[in-house]
Amino acid sequence: MPTNCPCDSGRPYAACCRPYIAGEAQAPTAEALMRSRYSAFTRNAIDYLRHSWHPDTCPSDLTPDPSATWIGLKILATEADGPDDETATVEFVARYKIGGRAYRLHERSRFVRYQGRWVYLDGTFNPPSH
């Protein structure tokens, strides 16, 4: 039985985020990139996180918190995420646990096309409601 993708798309990992993380395909939309980045965090795929982050804003240290366990992703909204767009935003809530305590990461992320592919630029934590 296929393993569901950590990004909560409801699709099998092999048909969802794995091709992007493995470098076999490029995420076609900012939302797909956001989902694959979440999956990469769940799998400690640091090379992919670095590759999918704009070089001007990517931190030098991407070492994950070993005590964090990622438990879910919910996409709240996307803006300007079409095939001809050069910028896009994705608002999401990612849930995780540390030491048995649950936390939420609510962010409105900005994505841009860089060298022909979507990359994460930056984000606003706990953004105001629309």
> DSSP assignment of 6-34, as one string?
TTSSSSBGGGTTHHHHTTSS--SSHHHHH
Q: Give domain status of residue 31, yes or no.
A: yes
Q: Tell me, what CATH number does 30's domain have?
A: 3.10.450.50
- Continuous segment of H or E residues that includes residue 124: strand 117-125
Q: Give domain status of residue 6, yes or no.
A: no
Q: What is the pLDDT of residue 42?
A: 95
Domain count, the chain: 1
Q: Give domain status of residue 4, yes or no.
A: no
In terms of residue numbers, what domain contains 70? Answer: 13-125
Which stretches does DSSP call E strand in 65-116? 68-79, 87-98, 101-114
Overall pTM surpassing 0.75 (yes/no): yes
List per-residue pLDDT tens for the chain, 130 residues long.
Answer: 678 999 999 999 999 999 999 999 999 999 999 999 999 999 999 999 999 999 999 999 999 889 999 999 999 999 998 888 999 999 999 999 999 999 999 999 999 999 999 999 999 998 876 5
Q: Give domain status of residue 130, yes or no.
A: no
Residues 123 and 86: their CA atoms lie apart, in Å, by: 16
